[in-house]
Amino acid sequence: MIYNSIIETIGNTPMIRLNKVNKGIKGEILVKVEYFNPGNSMKDRMAIKMVEDAEKEGLLKPGGTIIEGTSGNTGMGLALAGIAKGYKCIFTMADKQSKEKIDILKAVGAEVIVCPTNVSPEDPRSYYSVAKKLNKDIPNSFYPNQYDNLSNWKAHYETTGPEIWRDMEGKITHYAAGVGTGGSMCGTAKYLKEQDPKVVSVGIDTYGSVFKKYKETGVFDENEVYPYLTEGIGEDILPKNVDFSLIDHFIKVTDKDAAVMTRRLSKEEGLFVGWSCGAAVHGALEYAKENLKDGDRMVIILPDHGTRYLGKIYNDDWMRNHGFLENKSFGTARDIISNRNGNYQLVVAEKNASVKDAIAMMNDKSVSQIPVLENGQVIGSITDSKLLTKIIDNPELKDAQVSEVMEESMKFVALDSTLDVLSSMVEKEKAVLIRDENHRIHIITKHDILDAVTK
């Protein structure tokens, strides 16, 4: 068959049965391998849909410029569409994205602007904000906004879902996918559930993302948001493409578990895939261990290709430096918490408490730093050294409320973070917070890490 351009080859990716990494799990586990798309990712599907819908609506005109914030894969899909249709492309990316992703986008003629990761979405430096400003400043430009552009989920409703249903001959009980913009998860789930309402959808989230807690409680908890490394899943916003009514369950996966499974898929299944693929499989298998039975059939989306991560996941030095290779000499945050006695109680100060009472409590409990809470949520912190400096400069502060002297909140980190990783995250005179499986909050200090290392 002869195609007129590369974008006509998008879709109809293969379904492959897992044979080794799912050992001991009941039911059949299959993966839809999206790196067979021309841009090596599932984002090709929604990229071309967003472009063609924009053309129909008159939002994208000949000679125009496509401007998008991307983790890399959507940019590649848009770039291929741009090449085929004659559009210039400018992409903004967070600096946590792999160098390979940046280089690949440049190779297909796109301009790439790298922005800081650890800023809020509203910050003018964020890759969301920079993309929006460029769209405003550049004439005849189009900002697809994959997060809120509903052509995203429609692309998967029209292609990915029908392909899975066809290839499975309608015999599918579970569908699992990572949730980032929400398009592939929700568009595909919507189609599958329309064919069979009994199909169970499992969304894979990452620690540092708001999705799981929002689904389960309806609360957008900013304290759930903290830096994480896995690319392509999780968010610190609620994209319009995420329809929580279509996601039955969420499973959270650590950066390390995702990275380790990614490498296992390559070595044990011959699937040279990207980081979020490892997250999707690890999370789906964790769910399957407890929930799948004989006769069940689960399909997992594998979004992209391993070439995007040669300098990270497939680099031993990078993996070792981040504590992702097995290292018997180091434990984890989970180990520190499990070694505490059952009477452990986190010492906290309420926002409206007096500074004098907070100091008395810290002295009584012999702690040097504590979180500050409001309505049960962590909103800040106080440390004895900085508190002392403030009171010496202004003695009247001892009668003020804690909210007037508190500092920024300690960061939440993943429960399975290794001690070497924790030590690099603990800033000077600053601890980190961990939330355990029972949603209790724990504090881990330098002293805790030193104590664990020397045991």
Of the listed 32, 43, 154, 190, which one is catalytic? Answer: 43
Closest C-alpha among 222, 279, 216 to residue 248: 216
Handedness of CA 338, 341, 342, 344 (dihedral sign): negative
Q: How does DSSP assign 16-55, residue by residue?
A: EE--STTTT-SSEEEEEEGGGSTTSBTHHHHHHHHHHHHH
Answer whether 142's CB lies under 8 Å from 90's CB.
no
Chain CA centroid to CA 276, Å: 8
Which tokens go with 317? 């030095």
SS3 state at 171: coil
Answer whether 412's CB lies under 8 Å from 350's CB.
no
φ, ψ (nearest 5 deg) of residue 239: -65, 150
Q: How does DSSP assign 218-261, residue by residue?
A: S---GGG------SSS--SS--TT--GGG--EEEEE-HHHHHHH
Q: Is 43 a catalytic residue?
A: yes
Burial class, 417, CB count within 10 angstroms (exposed 0-12 / middle 13-18 / buried 19+)? buried
304-340 b/e (C-beta count within 10 Å ≥ 16 → b) = bbbebbeebbbeeebbeebbbbeeeebbbbbebbeee
Answer whether 416's CB lies under 8 Å from 332's CB.
yes
Q: How many CA atoms lie within 13 A of 384 on its CB side?
A: 12
Q: How many CA atoms lie within 13 A of 325 on its CB side?
A: 10
Helix axis angle, 183-195 relative to 43-56, nearest 10°? 90
SS3 state at 130: helix
> Sheet containing 141-142: which strands, arranged edge to edge?
111-115, 88-94, 65-69, 141-142
Closest C-alpha among 275, 216, 206 to residue 417: 206
Cα–Cα distance for residue pair 232/240, rounded to 1 Å:
16
Residues designated as active site: 43
